[in-house]
Amino acid sequence: MREITYAQAISEAIAEEMRLDENVILLGEDVGILGGNFRTTTGLYEEFGEERVLDTPISEAGIVGCALGLAIRGMRPIAEIMFGDFLCLAMDQIVNQVAKIRYMSGGRIRVPLVIRTNIGAGRSSAAQHSQSLHSWFLHTPGIESVMPSSPYEVKGLLKSAIRDDNPVVVFEHKMLYNKKGEVPEKECLIPIGISEVKREGGDVTIVATSSMVGESLELAIQLEKEGISIEVIDLRSLVPMDEETIINSVRKTGRLVLVDEGVTRGGITAEIATMVMEKAFDCLNAPIERVGNENTPIPFSPVLERYVIPNREKIEKAVRKAIK
């Protein structure tokens, strides 16, 4: 199977959906002539023109508000927010408008809107360009959210998001944009709300998100040499969440390690841990372990940045503690 980068998979997914449906349009800062700040929209402006690939002013609230209006009028807009940190500037539009309109209209008004943005540290971009704020949207009914971990996942989930009649936030990891992976040339759709067991094991379950999936898989291969069998689940979708796959795995292994690059306090790992405690407490043979960002802003210093964010060594420490 061919290999393409995560960024290429994004561009390919958008192009395919734009060819299929003339109502699909793209808008955001530098998505047109430049091809995106991270080159995720390369070639789209040349193929579809300025009426369907819109370079907007620097106003996140304006981007989301415009996209919302387009969605209400029957279009399928894809709004790009250059850095996930900048979602803060559009929170009223997202939380009080995008998430609520279908409910407040009694289901009569659809909002088929995709918001693409990114998360993650690793580039020494400091505290205002390195956050992972995806867990905020767990607390907002009316919005779906996904976190693709590979080129295959980002293409399949993004295409499904574009076809969804509900608003979907797609959280890409900026450190994955240049990562290559296998992506089929034929139609590639991944249903929203379905996790995937990336590797089967019997001693401990790791549920990971985004770039932490790859780190967890590498660790599983490493620890297999010591006779430690790790089951790795790629969460893929935060809302709706595939609780069944997680519960079934915990019932099999009896141990659970949760890995996510968001701040641990109040994050997705806390939500999953609570869900497992409520539905499968009797299956646990050890306390649930969580690995995530320290409760501090992301430092600019590369040394301090590496200290704050999760990595393979921290995941290994949690796994060994769980099976001790």
* CATH number of the domain bearing residue 93: 3.40.50.970
> How high is the pLDDT of residue 232?
98
Outline where DSSP puts E strands in 103-166: 114-119, 144-146
Structural domain boundaries enclosing 51: 3-182
pLDDT range class, residue 306, cuts 50, 70, 90: very high
Q: Could you give the C-alpha distances from 321 to 52, 112, 180, in angstroms and in order?
A: 52, 44, 33
Whether 188 is covered by a domain: the verdict is no
CB atoms within 10 A of CB 302: 12
Mean pLDDT of 76-98: 97
In a domain, 104, yes or no: yes
Confidence of residue 140 (pLDDT cuts 50, 70, 90): very high
The residue among 124, 157, 182 that closes a domain is 182
Average pLDDT over residues 270-284: 97
Spatial neighbors of 230 by CB under 8 A, at least 6 apart, are 199, 201, 203, 204, 205, 206, 216, 219, 220, 223, 224, 319
Residues 40 and 72 in one domain: yes
Average pLDDT over residues 198-212: 98
CA geometry: angle 266, 315, 181, nearest 5 deg:
100
The mean pLDDT value of the chain amounts to 97
Q: Are residues 102 and 211 in the same domain?
A: no
Region 118-126: what's the mean pLDDT? Answer: 95
In this model, does residue 285 exceed pLDDT 90? yes
Tens of pLDDT along 153-166? 999 999 999 999 99
Res. 223: pLDDT tops 90: yes
- Cis omega (within 30 of 0) on the bond before 112? no
Domain CATH for 251: 3.40.50.920
Q: How many domains does the chain have?
A: 2
Task: Kindly indicate the confidence band of residue 68, based on its pLDDT and cuts at 50, 70 and 90.
Answer: very high
Last residue of a domain, one of 125, 160, 182: 182
Token pair for residue 51?
């009426």
In this model, does residue 294 exceed pLDDT 90? Answer: yes
Is 262 found in the same domain as 202? Answer: yes
Q: Determine the pLDDT at residue 1.
A: 84
**Share of residues in the chain with pLDDT > 90 (%):** 99
Q: Are 246 and 125 within one domain?
A: no
Task: Please give the positions annotated as active site.
Answer: 129
Report pLDDT for 74: 95
Residue 44, pLDDT > 90, answer: yes
pLDDT at 227 over 90: yes
pLDDT at residue 286 tops 90: yes
In this prediction, residues 74-85 reach a mean pLDDT of 97
pLDDT one-digit tens code per residue, 236-261? 999 999 999 999 999 999 999 999 99
Supply the pLDDT for residue 64: 98
**pLDDT tier at 230 (50, 70, 90 boundaries)?**
very high
Q: What is the pLDDT of residue 161?
A: 98
**What's the CA gap between 54 and 73, in Å, rounded?**
17
If asked whether residues 94 and 61 sit together in one domain, one would say yes
